Amino acid sequence: MEKGPFSVEWLAQSSRGGAQPVTAARRPRSPPRDTAAPRDQEAPDRSSPGHEAEAGGGAVPGRPRTKFSAAQLQELERSFREQRYIGASEKRRLAAVLNLSQSQIKTWFQNRRMKFKRQTQDAR
């Protein structure tokens, strides 16, 4: 095992004066690991309603912005009027009925609560 700078072994030896720091030229490089695979597991079919990406580039790479259909928005707004904070069972039900992921439902409710907060503050 190579003792790199700031390892426990290197620090112990350096306090006794016996270690030399490892330079970047001598250190072997390992390729970066791909950690994007788990994100795709929850992604539903992109050809279904509510999964069309809007035109134009966004700042955040990854999932394209969801364009909700009128029926999806109507059902989400109805649910929001009944209860501003969505429970796990209602989130699962809405996701199944509207053909959206649970994270999309959760995010929509978070954004809708912020919109509601801005509207009530502006009215004062």
Residue 72 has pLDDT above 50, yes or no: yes
Q: Which residue has the higher pLDDT, 11 or 27?
A: 11
Asked if residue 112 belongs to a domain, the reply is yes
pLDDT at 109: 97
Tally of structural domains, the chain? 1
Per-residue model confidence (pLDDT) at position 93: 96
Q: pLDDT value at position 42?
A: 46
Q: Are 88 and 66 in contact (CB under 8 A)?
A: no
Q: What is the distance between the alpha carbons of residues 50 and 76, in angstroms, rounded to a whole number? A: 13
Mean pLDDT, residues 60-89 taken together:
93
Q: Residue 108 is part of which domain span? A: 87-123
pTM of the model: 0.52
Query: Looking at the domain assignment, is residue 44 inside a domain?
Result: no
Extract the tokens encoding 40: 């795709």
| 108, part of any domain | yes
Can you tell me the mean pLDDT for 104-124?
95
